[in-house]
Structure 1
Amino acid sequence: MKTITKIFASSLAAIAIFTTTNLNAQTMTTTDAPMMESGMGFKVGVGISGGVFRDKSPLDYAYGADVKLQWDLTPYVAVTASGGYTKLMGKDNVLDVDFIPAKGGVKVFPIKRMYLATEAGAGFAIQDGAKTNFIYTGGLGYEFGGFDVGVRYEGYVNDSGSTLYFKKTGQYALRLAYNFKL
């Protein structure tokens, strides 16, 4: 089985476990009340991110900015959609890739304010002759007072017909964002 298939299957299994498990807390205090609303809320997050690649990768580091829409279905599960700009910098300035990522995913909050997230989507290349990448992510984060800090692994699968071809690779990234409630 391919690695991407294993990662995708593991992510789906984790989501299924977290969304079907009944979690019980001790008692709710007055500071917990805003978190325990009925859910069904919308947030818009504006963030920046930076990441590094493994030694075997032809890429060195990445940076970008994004806008993420979050629809809280319940206090424990949210659906996300994001888009933005990402720049992947190659080692020795041999390969530089600019693309617009468009992803959709799920956030699960197993512990108050802490989340596990997974997303999948496409990276639309900006350069002529470059092909669209498949992007998949998995990570965890923490939301507090409107701020959102998260770490993730973001993998890229590139089309071999692309003029900017690079082997399947991925970055370990940090995202800092601020969420606005709508």
Structure 2
Amino acid sequence: MTNLHAQTMTTMDGTMMDNGMGFKVGVGISGGLFRDKSPMDYAYGADLKLQWDLTKDVAITASGGYTKLMGKNNSLDVDFIPAKGGVKVFAIKRMYLATEAGAGFAIQDGAKTNFIYTGGVGYEWNSGFDIGVRYEGYVNNSSSTTYFRQTGQYALRLAYNFKL
């Protein structure tokens, strides 16, 4: 017969060590700029991000919110609700690499859903503040009334995470 015993890690001062497991809800705002060749000029939005810390180094994310892409010379403005899922890897302490993919559900009549993909880096403080930069790419359906060629923004996100 084999007996199994759970091990508890403690620090040098005898306190319990945090294993990183947890659930967070983050509220954020973002703004971004597009390259010169893009039909878009800038973007802004807000989001709600759910984060499940599987370990102290890896988290699964899901996010949704509102994004507005502003066309150059008032040519085309696109409003959509992004829904994405992804992974965060904390490479160095609280600094992370993040990637997400999902869909942008257009709000305008006749507009089609976009495919969205992102990749970026950020830093999450223990206090809950989170800052990140990312590239967010959009692949649009050519039959959409809000069609624009494949493009992407370089965005900054400021957020606060609430631990649950």
TM-score by length of 1: 0.81
What residue is the counterpart of 1:177 in the other structure?
Answer: 159
SS at match of 1:92: helix
SS at match of 2:38: coil
Say yes or no: does 1:130 pair with 2:88: no
| Distance 1:57-1:67 versus aligned 2 partners, 3 A rule | same
Say yes or no: does 1:115 pair with 2:96: yes
What residue is the counterpart of 1:157 in the other structure?
Answer: 139
Q: CA RMSD in A?
A: 1.5
What residue is the counterpart of 2:42 in the other structure?
Answer: 61
What residue is the counterpart of 2:4 in the other structure?
Answer: none
How many equivalent residue pairs? 152
Alignment counterpart, residue 39 of structure 1, candidates 20, 24, 49: 20
What residue is the counterpart of 1:24 in the other structure?
Answer: none
Task: After TM superposition, give the deviation of residue 39 of structure 1 in Å.
Answer: 2.6
What residue is the counterpart of 1:79 in the other structure?
Answer: 60
| Distance 1:94-1:149 versus aligned 2 partners, 3 A rule | same
What residue is the counterpart of 1:16 in the other structure?
Answer: none
**Alignment partners' CA distance in 1, 2:71 and 2:12:** 50
- The amino acid across from 2:45 in the alignment is G
Alignment counterpart, residue 150 of structure 2, candidates 168, 174, 179: 168
**Alignment partners' CA distance in 1, 2:40 and 2:122:** 25
Unaligned runs of 5+ in 1: 1-27
From the two aligned structures, give the one with the greater helix fraction: 1
**Alignment partners' CA distance in 1, 2:96 and 2:163:** 17
Task: After TM superposition, give the deviation of residue 106 of structure 1 in Å.
Answer: 0.0
Bigger radius of gyration among the two:
2
**Alignment partners' CA distance in 1, 2:56 and 2:151:** 34
Task: After TM superposition, give the deviation of residue 29 of structure 1 in Å.
Answer: 7.5
| Distance 1:159-1:29 versus aligned 2 partners, 3 A rule | farther
| Distance 1:73-1:92 versus aligned 2 partners, 3 A rule | same
Task: After TM superposition, give the deviation of residue 37 of structure 1 in Å.
Answer: 1.5
Work out the percentage of aligned pairs sharing the same amino acid.
84
TM-score by length of 2: 0.89
Alignment counterpart, residue 128 of structure 2, candidates 142, 146, 168: 146
- The amino acid across from 1:119 in the alignment is E
Task: After TM superposition, give the deviation of residue 40 of structure 1 in Å.
Answer: 2.4
- The amino acid across from 1:111 in the alignment is I
| Distance 1:98-1:73 versus aligned 2 partners, 3 A rule | same
- Structure 1, residues 126-167: CA drift from partner, whole Å, max 9, x if none? 000000000000000001121000000000000001011000
